Chain A
Amino acid sequence: MSKLDATDIQGFALRGYTFPLARFLFVRISDTKKGQAFVAELVSRLTTGEKWDEKHKPRTTVNVALTYPGLVALGLPQASLQGFPVEFVQGMKARGGILCDVGKNAPQHWDGVWQEGPVHVWLGIYAESSEELEQKCAELTALAERTGGAAIVGKQDAAALVIDGKPSRKEHFGYTDGFGNPDYLGVDRDTQPGQGKLAPDGKSWLPLATGELLLGYADEAGELPVAPVPHLLANNGTFMVYRKLHQNVATFRAYMKEKGKLYPGGEEKLKAKFVGRWRDGTPLELSPDHGDAAIVADNNRNVNFTYGGDADGARCPLSAHIRRANPRDAFGFHGGLTNRRRITRRGLTYGPYTPDGEPGDDKAEHGVIFMALNASIFRQFEFVQQQWIEYGNDARQGNDRDALLGNHEGKGKFVVPGTDDAANPPFICGGLPSFVELRGGDYFFIPSITALKMIGVGAVDPR
């Protein structure tokens, strides 16, 4: 398998950008020809997947993604449109039953731009400084105005959380994030052991099939993922799930404080049990009793572990978030049941960090912009969301949901397995509130550079 042509793949699909600031612009197309012209002009401004070294890192990046209504607005022929997967065509709002986007997560609570809809285009701009961010956004806005036919209908700022004056990798509950993105065959990036799939020896790791991320390549089942015609439209593209996740910081802090008093391991350990990592990022599997900065700093260790030796969940609970989202070998069969359920995350926080010690405010505008990339939204993201986050049968936890992310609404529980030592008994956290609420989002297609050029000149030919 030769290396991928990184110049044809958008950078956002291949790399997790490490920039302190970002802005996402949501665009609506009102005229097909003019919208195409906008896309055509965008292409030369896009960041591709070419790897850069520190000396040549750009100051800003620009990438683009399109919803199904966006593809329709851009005049794609019917035969091409019909080849897109059903869930993408329907869009995220219509899939609410499957995703459990009900109650507080239902569309009536979403930001206006997602309720009014439709959003056609997502523009992702990352930058090193706010001046450069503003400048780039102004440039793109001017481009939209000049070509006519494309209007900015909404925006979302995001930024690495600044804690004690420095940008950090933490999110609003204080957990260090950004571990565990998958490793794919042919993608040229810094890989770490533990990111791919388990090798037959049960200890080492192999990259996942390229087709788990990108269209046009074989996936883990040895097939090409569902993709529209022609090949050039689909190849080197991927799908993005964009979800704005509000975080109830006050509820989280109060709940953990209360339960932390009752849990013999204490508040920090309880927080670690919810996720499967200590808040500093140390995996519980590797260090069940305390965080360990040396492990966190060691890329050969910080995602390199399995659950086979912890079948009872005494170290990492069966219901912990990372164990649910990526069960690795926990279901047996050398991980064969989990290899086709991986997603690549590109999230970034929004809103300012609430300093430690403060109670926090659930009404404040803060949370995580969750962006997941996968070749099949249905088979990957939607499956994990429906079966492993909002339900627990595969983890043998019945109807119990992911403690941190689940749509609990005051009911529901989290079981922390323990031992028969009186200092470490099993512990049940009941009456779980919803710590995270959905405020909108949609399903997007991230086309290749070639595909965008074709779209830009209206040259998509489905045969």
Chain B
Amino acid sequence: MANQSGSVYGLTILSPIARSAHGSESHSLAIRQCLEKLPRGADSPFAKVSSTHMARLVVMDDVVYFGRPSREEHLRSKYLIFESNFDGDLDPYLRRLAVEVPQEVHAVWRHCEGYPGVENVDAFIRYMKRCQVETTFFFADVNDKTVQQTLQALQTQSAVTAFIEKNQGKPAEELQRAFVKFIDSLQSAPPPVPGIVQGRELADE
């Protein structure tokens, strides 16, 4: 399935942006302004739909003309591109978007042609799938770990590094005792938050 690599799904959606009385200019401008205001980091809607590894929203105004001898041509509509790399299957992901971050989805997609709203989740999913374009070739360097597993692993890596330095040269019994405490503390650590820079230097410990 070209859209998938391992357990990661590569979603590509091209939503035509609605035309208004003056062509689709004002809607695409509105989308851009909305995207400027969309929360980033831990407050991003994609942090909340936490199966998202990486995602982007791009307003594509037109195709590009590279010069002669190619012929010049233009798209009649602008498109909102939604490129997302997430864990699991498509339907559950689209459902999460509609159910968990309806305000943000609505703020962006209401400027798009044929958008039915988010209240009727099935209609929303159908609409998004109508705009989906098949990914021809999808590359995922790590395709068998979820977002949570990845964030957890990064946190563990940081903690392990600090542990190793702190316990250098300790005698065997002390080392073992410290290790047991360390494993326990790891297990009770709060889960890491997606979307923000983490990773503390050793000296901060």
List the interface of chain A (C-beta within 8 A of B).
262, 399, 410-413, 426-428, 430-431
B196 to chain A, nearest CB (A): 16
- Give the contacts of B83-129 with A (CB-CB under 8 A): none
From B169, B199, B203, contact of A430 by CB (8 A): B203
From A399, A410, A430, contact of B165 by CB (8 A): A430
A395 to chain B, nearest CB (A): 16
Question: Which residue of chain B has its CB nearest to the CB of A264?
Answer: B169
**In the bound complex, CA of A262 to CA of B164 (Å):** 14
From B164, B199, B204, contact of A428 by CB (8 A): B164
Q: Is B168 an interface residue (CB 8 A)?
A: yes
A361 to chain B, nearest CB (A): 25
Whether B161 pairs with A428 at a CB distance below 8 angstroms is: yes
Question: Which residue of chain B has its CB nearest to the CB of A425?
Answer: B168
Q: Is B183 an interface residue (CB 8 A)?
A: no
Q: Which of A399, A411, A413, A430 has the most CB of B within 10 A?
A: A430
**In the bound complex, CA of A412 to CA of B202 (Å):** 7
Q: Is B201 an interface residue (CB 8 A)?
A: yes
Q: Which residues in B have their C-beta under 8 angstroms from that of A412?
A: 201-203
Q: Which 8 A-B pairs have the closest CB atoms?
A: A428-B165, A411-B201, A411-B203, A430-B202, A430-B165, A431-B203, A413-B202, A262-B169
Contact indicator per residue, chain B 138-178, by CB within 8 Å of chain A (1) or not (0) = 00000000000000000000000100110011000000000
Question: Which residue of chain B has its CB nearest to the CB of A262?
Answer: B169
**In the bound complex, CA of A354 to CA of B9 (Å):** 61
Q: Which residues in B have their C-beta under 8 angstroms from that of A410?
A: 203
A296 to chain B, nearest CB (A): 32
Question: Which residue of chain B has its CB nearest to the CB of A412?
Answer: B201
Q: Which residues in A have their C-beta under 8 angstroms from that of B202?
A: 411-413, 428, 430-431
Other than A262-B168, A411-B201, A427-B168, give 6 A-B pairs with Cβ distance below 8 A: A411-B202, A411-B204, A412-B201, A412-B203, A413-B165, A413-B201
B142 to chain A, nearest CB (A): 15
The 27 listed contacts between A and B (C-beta, < 8 Å) are: A262-B168, A262-B169, A399-B199, A410-B203, A411-B201, A411-B202, A411-B203, A411-B204, A412-B201, A412-B202, A412-B203, A413-B161, A413-B165, A413-B201, A413-B202, A426-B164, A427-B168, A428-B161, A428-B164, A428-B165, A428-B168, A428-B202, A430-B165, A430-B202, A430-B203, A431-B202, A431-B203
**In the bound complex, CA of A262 to CA of B168 (Å):** 9
Question: Which residue of chain B has its CB nearest to the CB of A428?
Answer: B165
Q: Which residues in B have their C-beta under 8 angstroms from that of A413?
A: 161, 165, 201-202
A244 to chain B, nearest CB (A): 28
**In the bound complex, CA of A262 to CA of B170 (Å):** 11
Q: Which residues in B have their C-beta under 8 angstroms from that of A411?
A: 201-204
A340 to chain B, nearest CB (A): 24
- Give the contacts of B184-205 with A (CB-CB under 8 A): 199, 201-204
Q: Which residues in B have their C-beta under 8 angstroms from that of A426?
A: 164
**In the bound complex, CA of A413 to CA of B199 (Å):** 14
**In the bound complex, CA of A430 to CA of B200 (Å):** 13
**In the bound complex, CA of A51 to CA of B204 (Å):** 54
Q: Which residues in B have their C-beta under 8 angstroms from that of A427?
A: 168
B201 to chain A, nearest CB (A): 4
Q: Which residues in A have their C-beta under 8 angstroms from that of B203?
A: 410-412, 430-431
**In the bound complex, CA of A410 to CA of B168 (Å):** 19
Q: Which residues in B have their C-beta under 8 angstroms from that of A430?
A: 165, 202-203
Q: Which residues in A have their C-beta under 8 angstroms from that of B199?
A: 399
**In the bound complex, CA of A426 to CA of B204 (Å):** 22
**In the bound complex, CA of A426 to CA of B167 (Å):** 12
Q: Which residues in B have their C-beta under 8 angstroms from that of A428?
A: 161, 164-165, 168, 202
B23 to chain A, nearest CB (A): 38
Question: Which residue of chain B has its CB nearest to the CB of A429?
Answer: B165
**In the bound complex, CA of A413 to CA of B165 (Å):** 9
Question: Which residue of chain A has its CB nearest to the CB of B157?
Answer: A398
B199 to chain A, nearest CB (A): 8
A421 to chain B, nearest CB (A): 15
Q: Which residues in A have their C-beta under 8 angstroms from that of B161?
A: 413, 428
B197 to chain A, nearest CB (A): 11
**In the bound complex, CA of A426 to CA of B165 (Å):** 10
B164 to chain A, nearest CB (A): 6
**In the bound complex, CA of A431 to CA of B201 (Å):** 9
A344 to chain B, nearest CB (A): 34
B198 to chain A, nearest CB (A): 12
Q: Which residues in B have their C-beta under 8 angstroms from that of A399?
A: 199
B15 to chain A, nearest CB (A): 35
**In the bound complex, CA of A428 to CA of B201 (Å):** 13
B167 to chain A, nearest CB (A): 10
Q: Which residues in A have their C-beta under 8 angstroms from that of B204?
A: 411
A407 to chain B, nearest CB (A): 13
A270 to chain B, nearest CB (A): 13
